[in-house]
Amino acid sequence: MAPVRITANSGSIKVTAEARDDVVVDRGQHHPMGGVLEVKGASSGVVMRVPIGTDIIVGTTSGAVTMRGKLGELRVAGRSGRVDIDECASLDVRTVSGRVEIGVVSGECRIKTASGRISVTRAGGEIHVATVSGRIDVVDAAGPVQVTTVSGTVNLGMSRAADARADSVSGRVEIELPHGVHPKTSLVSVNGRCECELIEGDDCRVTGRTVSGRIAVRERR
């Protein structure tokens, strides 16, 4: 199925993926454009239902973006507003301000914000997360992870032996690895303590950098 492009200057955007063969736009105006279905929302926003696995491209100025169900490739660009996504094949989110809550991403996951907390429950591919101000939580990561924040705590949970790097100018960094994994670590804190509770080895590389804050590498509990 062709991707769906959604644009809105204001108002929330809600998309639900369900077992169906067609696209239903409950709120918003839709127009087919060169094989791409474009949906435009006014101040009342956009509400629509799409088949499972649909690729979505979202551009919004102000308003929450909510995706329910299992979707395909997602790209979201916005200025302000919360982003809340249940599940998708791959993800690219770029916002200026607003909390980002992600459930499951089976492939690559990229998130970049200027301000706002970022949370990812599970990701199967490579993860790149960056924010200027805000906490970062990655609960269960299978692929390589690179996260960066200027001001905020970083918590990384790895489900297997994969490279992980976390950088924070001001904030605590905690990285958890599964039982039996022996990482090669490089931990630096200018004004804080660095500790690794695991026996080191060559299973993966774990890098932590912070100016002010503690860095800890430990076994997942």
Beta carbons within 10 angstroms of residue 111's beta carbon: 26
- DSSP codes joined into one string, 50-98: EETT--EEEEEEES-EEEEEEEEEEEEEEEES-EEEEEEEEEEEEEEES
Give pLDDT tens digits for 157-172. Answer: 999 999 999 999 999 9
Whether the predicted pLDDT of 191 surpasses 80: yes
Tens-place pLDDT, residues 36-49: 789 988 778 999 99
Note the pLDDT tens digit of each residue in 108-163: 999 999 999 999 999 999 999 999 999 999 999 999 999 999 999 999 999 999 99
Structure tokens at 143: 């692929």
CA distance 210 to 79: 28
34, pLDDT greater than 70: no
In terms of phi and psi (left: phi > 0; alpha: psi -120 to 50; beta: otherwise), the region of 34 is left
Residue with structure tokens 């599940």?
A: 87
Domain ranges of the chain: 1-92, 99-221
Q: What is the pTM of this model?
A: 0.94
DSSP SS3 for 196: strand
Mean pLDDT for the chain overall: 94
Per-residue pLDDT of 91-116, as tens digits, reads 999 999 999 999 999 999 999 999 99
